[in-house]
Structure 1
Amino acid sequence: MLGRFVRYWAGYGARAKQNDADRLRVRKSIQQIQKQTVTTSLFQTSKMVGDPDMELCIDESLLQGCKFKITVEGNIASGKTTLLNCFKDKSYAEVLFEPIDKWQKVGGDNLLGRMYENKERWGLTFQSYVLLTMMELHHKEQHLPISVLERSAFSGRYCFLENLYRSHVLDDLEHSCYTRWFDWLMTTNPPQLDLIVYLQTSPEVCLQRLKERQRGEETGITLDYLQSLHDRHEEWLSNPDNHGWHSNKPVLILDGDKDCRNEACLFEKMCNKIVHKLLYPACFSPRSCPHNSLMNQTPPAGSGFPYKAKRNLRL
């Protein structure tokens, strides 16, 4: 009887080891299938022979049930509005533009115009109101899979407010008042973002576009002012060491110097690249998303992967 008992448990241990080995082989096979599926889906190339840029094809069914929020950042006249208008034509995206009309109609006066006329007097007032209106956009109810914001509360703080301070337009007291208010908001009611898209555009190109679009409040903007704003954006978004300023949300940097008049599908390609960055962040630059890997990424519903997918992906 004792011998039979010993033989049973010895056999049980061997069977358990065999089962573990079988499960490991199955897991590796599944991971290989997942990797091949992601690669095949992501790196489909365009039928346009000779196109140096990879054309990423979007399967809109992958976005069903997802809720992503992204912000498009960049200098004045960097190309943000053109990119957002491209998203505006997509059935899966809703676009929230900067509330310029609100800034131009505050108590019957044009606060934006006053700020450009006299930054020393109206700089802090304007940036405080910008923070309020941007937080309203950040927390606006979302109805479609992707919500695209033109700029964010973060750029107001780390680019425009900081630029006023470093230009000695704001003094230490004004800077401290704003930053304490901002830090409290980020702690108690932080914006939910999945991706920051940075249109990296040279100040010279921005100035040329400013001259072409001829907006009234922008007539006094100089190259030096655009250069200083460019430096603030670079300091914030091009330096991974400073991504903690926005809680280390992934950053996707796109070339904003290209002219869409010379490349008709330029912004369509940008839209596709942004959507793929949302769905498969590990397949892009590791600098933008250092903690994601292909195998720990849960793909969205409808991707064909052999396990249950999460409906709401937060990076």
Structure 2
Amino acid sequence: MLFEKYRHIVIEGPIGVGKTSLAKLMAERFNAELLLEQPQENPFLPKFYEDSARYALPTQLFFLFQRIGQLRDLAQRDFFESMVVSDFLLEKDRMFASLTLDEEELKLYQQIYQHQSPQTPTPDLVIYLQASPQILVERVHKRAIGYEQSITESYLAQLSEAYSRFFYHYDGAPLLIVNTEHLNPVDHPEDFDLLLSQIESMKGRREFFNWSE
């Protein structure tokens, strides 16, 4: 039923919340095509975490062109023959830009974004994963990616707040907001099954899943 109802699923959320791991797990379960961000290909990202003011713009523009390219390739194929699971939503790129760029850089970024006029496939479902900044810090440290270890709780708090504002206004696709404080669908199969059941039972365009043990 999930494959028939949702052919293109996007999983989103702040750094460390587990969106990529969940996307991989879901793609494996449903034999779906997996479309992932490639942060390791961005040469400016490690420098951004060391000096965000200096490297915010090139970091942001690299991600913008990378994401547009990935989604354009997807749009040109008949991907409806198979399910597609992705770990990024292009629209959130502007959210990051608003958070990291200064006023003049943001104007330049917006001009470039508008000039590109990206036409990308609309997801059938967006799953937005939430967690507190404290938990995000723990998860980031646990996965031990070198350049991420300098990420502060303050930055993750700002990022989480930006995501909350973004998805508060988001209406581009059906949205499931999932609190992952007590839900671990990646490491606990029973939690993954709970999440799938919640997805399959969705009736409206916006629902919340706040599982408590």
Verify same fold: TM over 0.5. yes
- The residue that corresponds to 1:119 in the other structure is 52
Residues 1:73 and 2:9 aligned together: no
Aligned to 2:193: 268
Structure 2 partner of 1:99: 38
| CA distance 1:81–1:271, change in 2 (3 Å) | farther
- TM-score (normalizing by structure 2): 0.83
How many Å separate the matches in 2 of 1:212 and 1:243?
A: 31
Is the contact between residue 236 and residue 243 of structure 1 (CA under 8 Å) also seen in structure 2? yes
Which residue of 85, 93, 101 maps to 1:148?
85
Shift of 1:262: 7.9
Q: Measure, in 2, the Cα distance between the counterparts of 1:210 and 1:266.
A: 21
Match of 1:37 in 2: none
- Alpha-carbon offset, residue 287 of structure 1: 4.1
Maintained 8 Å contact 1:193/1:249:
yes
Q: Distance in 2 between matches of 1:67 and 1:270?
A: 14
Cα deviations across residues 262-309 of structure 1 (Å, max 9, x unaligned)? 8432123324433x26xxx5x24x545xxxxxxxxxxxxxxxxxxxxx
Q: Summarize the Cα distance change of 1:76–1:161 in structure 2 as closer, same or farther, 3 Å threshold.
A: same
Greater CA deviation, 190-199 or 124-133? 190-199
Q: Tell me the residue number matched to 1:249.
A: 173
Please give the secondary structure, in 2, of the residue aligned with 1:228: helix
> Could you say which structure has the larger radius of gyration?
1
The total of aligned residue pairs comes to 202
Counterpart mapping for 1:276-287 below 5 A: 276=200, 283-284=203-204, 287=206
User: SS at the partner of 1:153?
Assistant: coil
1:214 matched to 2:144: yes
Could you tell me how far 1:258 is from its partner in structure 2? 2.3
After superposition, the C-alpha distances for 1:52-110 in whole angstroms (9 at most, x for unaligned) are xxxxxxx46x62xx77222211011101122112113124422112112321xxxxxx3
8 Å Cα contact 2:64-2:93 kept in structure 1: yes
Shift of the 67–209 alpha-carbon distance from structure 1 to 2, 3 Å rule, reads closer
Cα offsets for 1:182-218 (capped at 9, x unmatched): 23444x5244222221001111111111121111011
Residues 123-167 of structure 1 show CA distances to partners (whole Å, capped at 9, x for unaligned) of 111111101111122232326532111112212211x21211xxx
| C-alpha RMSD of matched pairs (Å) | 2.5
Unpaired segments of 5 or more residues in structure 1? 1-58, 104-109, 165-169, 289-315
Partners of 2:89 and 2:108 in 1: CA distance: 19
What's the counterpart of residue 201 of structure 1?
131
Answer 1 or 2: higher relative contact order, Cα 8 Å, separation at least 6: 2
**SS in structure 1 at match of 2:66:** helix
Q: Is the 8 A contact 2:130 2:178 kept in 1?
A: yes
